[in-house]
Amino acid sequence: MSKLEHWTKDEKNQVLKKSDEERLCKLHDEIAQSIWRAQYHIQPVTGLLNDPNGFCWFKKQWHLFYQWFPFGAVHGTKHWYHTVSHDLVHWQNLGMALEPNLVFDNAGCFSGSAFPKDDYLYLLYTGNHKENDGRRIPYQMIAAMNAKGSVTKLKHPIIEPNEAYTEHQRDPKIFYENGTYWMLIGAQDHQQHGHLILYKSRQIAIGWEYAGELKVKGYPYFGTMAECPDIEKIGDQWILLFSPQGYAAKGDEFRNAYQNVYLIGDLDLNALTFVPNGPYQELDRGFDFYAAQCASQYIYKNTAVMVGWLGCGDCTYPATDEEGWSGMLSLPRELTIEDGRLRQNPIRTSEQIKGEKIFEALHGSIMTDTMHGRTPAACVIHVDDPDDNAFELGLYSQTLKKGFSIIYEPNHKYFTIDRGDLENQCNTMYGTDRRIKLENGLKSLEIFADHSTVEIFINHGEYVMSSRIFPKPSEHLIRMRGKDISLIVWKANSTVADDFKI
């Protein structure tokens, strides 16, 4: 079948078998030639990648799993794929970690989290069970991975479905506080309102009991569903992350198909309350960011380490879908709290991504229309102090075309990105531009461009804007206009392995 031909139910329900290795190896060899494969972002070896799962520090390595359908760029039966790193920059593929081989996960191993304890890494996930009549039943499941990477599933659920909610009960995030294990789950009530519910236990693999709904002050519910919840402590404050569905756009905000938001506040697990210090905010103001997860770790003090899916449910990316693959994960980000707001910066080891310096203008004017020669498809760009003058940067442009536009208007302090001038378009029903008003002006930009994705860190993490783009070979120039600014461009190193392992 062709890559974009209609997938039958049986084809979407495929589960990876040893006998599939040869055809998947052939598919990998084909997609490895794609001009949109990344150099320093995690991407699927084949098929579709979506939510990051099980992010943690265990046995002197960072472990990161992701939702994976091996056979094509569709949301079929989900497996967990496993990658590892020693520095959050250089990643190695290890292969499949969880496969849907139990009656309780016969339709997929959905998203979840991980927690290291003693000599094991415990993987908690939602088992997606489907009856013959198509009814879906969610079970919260657990597996244990030893130091050699061997995974053993507990063959029965640790949490049965809660009858107070619909079949939408999923994405368990485990955390430990005051001698108790807690599990935060996204759920939908029978009035189709989204909630966050809590379970607790003294032991990680047994004894889980329902604690109740997490009552968030000012929010009786979250849209129609709250997916991929996460909760982390930074210093003496808590951050609550989740992906609510069913919200409408509000001016320049919440314009994507689905959102990923955060709240900062105080958590009381005795009362099951969360009191935020303000309204929820979008984690990322670009086009493509969802299902963010923080790592279970103790390496970075007073800092959370987060990664997200550079995509969104109900969105398609035809350029790579047609090649038989889809999806990418963001760079890991360090989260801190300043003045009651979350700041997100590239992981400190991301300096290793920078290779050869190919352009530099220090405190000067840039009025040239293009850089000399062909611009690398993967690069890092740093801009300082453009606030007093208009500034424009066009990535992946061509003659008479702006490409991916990055524009700052100092009079109104608007910062805008626009992908509408690229030849390959996607998800235009949600608009082709995104805009932020920078109340304190524009002080700095750190831009990570990697073949088919652009992540922009504004004002040292005050905002982040992430976007998938699919430039053609003719779209290879950088256009720059601005006065009295400092701008440096580096080629990017290749830091993420793209070898075939299943």
Q: Give the whole-angstrom CA distance, residue 65 versus residue 334.
A: 19
- Farthest CA pair distance, the chain: 68
Other CB atoms within 10 Å distance of the CB of residue 415:
24
Place of tokens 């032991």: 203
From CA 497, how far away is CA 212, in angstroms rounded? Answer: 43
| Phi, psi for residue 101 in degrees, rounded to 5 | -125, 15
User: What would the two tokens of residue 381 be?
Assistant: 């760009």
| Long-range interactions of 427-434: CB distance < 8 A, separation 24+ | 427/257, 427/287, 427/312, 427/315, 427/316, 427/317, 430/255, 430/256, 430/257, 430/287, 430/315, 431/255, 434/252, 434/255, 434/285, 434/286, 434/287, 434/465, 434/467
Coil, strand, or helix at residue 147? Answer: coil
Asked if 497 contacts 378 with a C-beta cutoff of 8 angstroms, the reply is: no
CA nearest 143: which of 89, 102, 187, 83?
102
Q: List the catalytic residue out of 51, 284, 387, 421.
A: 51
Count the Cβ atoms, other than its own, within 10 Å of residue 424: 16
CB-side exposure of 69: number of CA atoms within 13 Å?
23
- Pair of tokens at residue 95: 């292969």
Say whether 314 is catalytic: no
Per the structure block, which two tokens stand in for 37?
A: 């494969």
In terms of Cα–Cα distance, which of 266, 283, 285, 264 is closest to 275?
A: 266
Q: How far apart are CA 137 and CA 458, in angstroms?
A: 42
* Residue 398 near residue 471, CB atoms below 8 Å: no
Q: Which residues are catalytic?
A: 51
